[in-house]
Structure 1
Amino acid sequence: MSPRVAMVAGEPSGDLLAARVMRGIADLAPQGRCEGIGGPAMAEQGLDTWHPMHALTVFGYVDALKRLPGLLRTYGDVKRRWLQDRPDVFVGIDAPDFNLRLELQLRQAGIPTVHFVGPSIWAWRYERIHKIRAAVSHMLVLFPFEEAIYQKEGVPVTYVGHPLAQVIPMRPDREGVRAKLALGAGERVLALMPGSRASEIKLLAPRFLQAAGLLLKQDPSLRILVPMVNAQRRAEFEVWLRQYPVANLTVLDQALSPSRPAAWDALEAADAVLVASGTATLEAALFKRPMVISYVLSSAMRRIMAWKSGQSRPLVPWVGLPNVLLNDFAVPELLQEDATPEKLAEATWKALSDTAYARRTAERFEAMHQTLLRDTPGLAARAILREAGHEV
């Protein structure tokens, strides 16, 4: 039997995750076919692309409202096609607002559904578990603590590990990357990562740059690396850089390193990281770097989030993934009013200069890395193919 797998990924991170899973499916079922919505990484693995991934990619609630008519057309098209010509299994990769709705419709029609990357119900809107239970035949989760949540709620689940733990080395090559970037082996280096969204650049870049200026007063030879995900974010960042100029600062352009994230060069070369909350914090932890996590939301966005979630704060005391995974404030979090240049600089200086602290943090992150290291493509592919009725 040649399994037919329907898939939907709506963001670049989901495209990369799905592409790895598609490789796992191809290893176990070489005649299998994948179709649906995805990006370039999935296309390279042979996805029959019905709609491009950017049809679903939105940034925040305002953008989602503007693009609602197109999202509804895309949703209606794939739902109709899959209900008329049923796949063996549907796999939704992240994008929960789109995928959970689609999964509910398909599952009610008798099509098995797999959701990869559990929504962060452990932090926001735990009541979504009821929708997940109705919509999803099998959950694939990235973090070990999530497995117990879904087991308790009666949702079939497999912990597959985090694919970043497979591709980021257990022992980073700081000297090799520094040579590539023309940095001295003994130089003190800070990775400055104010985010990949326009709103993050607007709210965090001026604070981060002012903090960097304060750090340069402590160490005038400090080198600062700022990776940018694309030309648009770089242009937005450089507007703030002209307002708050910083010496010894180098912007790393993603276009110059298409086969590897520019952020990884910065993280591997750095002694410490000042970073916006998000996936980049997990990447920094896997590179074993001490960090300071920060985030700022506009007052309007805070009101929207509180309205949509019914919460004024997360259900856990941390926002950074490394702290959530370690169940502790392993690294500082400076959020909202606490994200002042002075506080950011003070916490970052400790990360840069306290070698004993950096060593202890690296040891904790190495243990965390080991817990996340699994055969993610193989585990995910086996669970998907079992739901499709394909023996593996």
Structure 2
Amino acid sequence: MVAGETSGDLLAGLLMDGMKARWPQMAAAGIGGPRMAAHGFEAWWPHDKLAVRGYFEVLRHYRSISRIREQLAERLLRERPDAFIGIDAPDFNLGLEARLKRAGIRSIHFVCPSIWAWRGGRAKKLAASADHVLCLFPFEPELLQRHGVAATYVGHPLADVIPLAPPRSAARAKLGLPDDVPVLAVLPGSRRSEIEMIAPVFLETVQRLSTLRPDLRFVLPVVPGLRELVEPLRERLAPDAALMLVDGQSHEALAACDVTLIASGTATLEAALFKRPMVIAYRMNALSWQLMRHMAYQPWVGLPNILCRDFVVPERLQAAANPQTLASDVLNWLDTPAKAEAVERRFEELHHLLRRDTGRTATHAIAQVLEA
């Protein structure tokens, strides 16, 4: 198995729940993180070695990532596992999967690449790489089958884990937050590059909001290993804010908050499953942005908006992600409770759609591939 970042580690850990239930003696190894390790996964490399986003950011790390992929491929070809499962990370995994598939090793890709959003040419590469694709979203299998790719909709494992009724009071108690104050969860991303590009503007927004709304409290979950980047930014950019940094605990922060300011990515879906109004923002290297925006097939970048096929929450990208605009968006949610309640109802419908006992459903699909 290969999971290339924090979100992939989370998905893989949830998948391994189902796999271990069916195959208690299963051994799994490759590239992964702590959630996979909790299920007995042997990490030959840590998942954060692959946690790079953006064309030019990837180029800087290309040699080291390529070396890891080559060493991993050689080891898997020697040891010949019953199956290889690539968890997202298509730039790393698809080429590896194609090589393993040609050698007769069953290759499964978990999470359909976003060919419906951009880079549709990946469909052909996917057909050559994976024996089967496990899809998180209901519209994906039909799209893949048009390109000759076998696929199964397994739902999103987060929809099984996150409760339909978010435990707001319990989460606030765990974080030491009162029940009677407004709370903003600030999630600037899980990658080092995201902390460098996005956390500064988020913290400037926090400082601005703390001046406009002195009663507003803030909680920022920090990914393990990145606190040394966040602490100096917090001291410099949001010195006066009632801001709490917590290690991990992003789900507690989302359950506890009234609104979240959040970087585009898997975390936005988690926020939707917690039924939280949000402001989605993203910044990246300017050259990467110019390349990616010309490849987009649809007007949305945030998963909640993509799944709802509408701008149900604001998206602020690049220059639009500035403290003035982001603070205004946050206050708009806080000051219009009817609007917030409407989006919460929309997210509850989405939660029911995505709840499919993913671990069991995906394991059944994997078993069929192994038995074919």
The TM-score normalised by the length of structure 1 is 0.87
Task: Show the counterpart of 1:300.
Answer: 287
Task: Show the counterpart of 1:373.
Answer: 355
Relative distance call for 1:29 and 1:175 in structure 2 (3 A) is: closer
Match of 1:17 among 3, 11, 19: 11
Secondary structure of the residue that 1:315 maps to in structure 2?
A: coil
Cα deviation 1:22-61 (Å, max 9, x = unaligned): 3322322334433433333333323354444445444544
Task: Show the counterpart of 1:71.
Answer: 65
Match of 1:157 among 151, 156, 166: 151
Secondary structure of the residue that 1:165 maps to in structure 2?
A: helix
For 1:253-272, what aligned pairs fall within 5 Å after superposition? Answer: 253-254=246-247, 261-272=248-259
Match of 2:272 among 285, 292, 296: 285
Task: Show the counterpart of 1:382.
Answer: 364
Secondary structure of the residue that 1:119 maps to in structure 2?
A: coil
Task: Show the counterpart of 1:41.
Answer: 35
Task: Show the counterpart of 1:257.
Answer: none
For 1:342-381, what aligned pairs fall within 5 Å after superposition? Answer: 342-381=324-363
The 1-side partners of 2:10 and 2:367 are apart by 19
Structure 1's unaligned 5+ residue stretches are 1-6, 255-260
The 1-side partners of 2:237 and 2:45 are apart by 42
Relative distance call for 1:221 and 1:51 in structure 2 (3 A) is: closer
Task: Show the counterpart of 2:299.
Answer: 317
| Contact 2:188-2:194 within 8 A present in 1 as well | yes
Task: Output the amino acid matched with 2:117.
Answer: A
Residue-pair matches, total: 372
1:249 corresponds to 2:236: no
1:111 corresponds to 2:105: yes
User: How many angstroms does 1:327 deviate by?
Assistant: 0.5
Task: Show the counterpart of 1:102.
Answer: 96
The 1-side partners of 2:81 and 2:230 are apart by 44
Moved more, 367-376 or 14-23: 14-23
Task: Show the counterpart of 1:258.
Answer: none
The 2-side partners of 1:70 and 1:358 are apart by 45
User: How many angstroms does 1:329 deviate by?
Assistant: 0.3
Relative distance call for 1:200 and 1:43 in structure 2 (3 A) is: closer
User: How many angstroms does 1:348 deviate by?
Assistant: 0.9
Relative distance call for 1:263 and 1:48 in structure 2 (3 A) is: closer
The TM-score normalised by the length of structure 2 is 0.91
Secondary structure of the residue that 1:33 maps to in structure 2?
A: coil
Structure 2's unaligned 5+ residue stretches are none
Larger Rg: 1
Relative distance call for 1:347 and 1:76 in structure 2 (3 A) is: closer
Moved more, 240-249 or 378-387: 240-249
Task: Output the amino acid matched with 1:371.
Answer: L
User: How many angstroms does 1:154 deviate by?
Assistant: 2.1
The 2-side partners of 1:62 and 1:227 are apart by 27
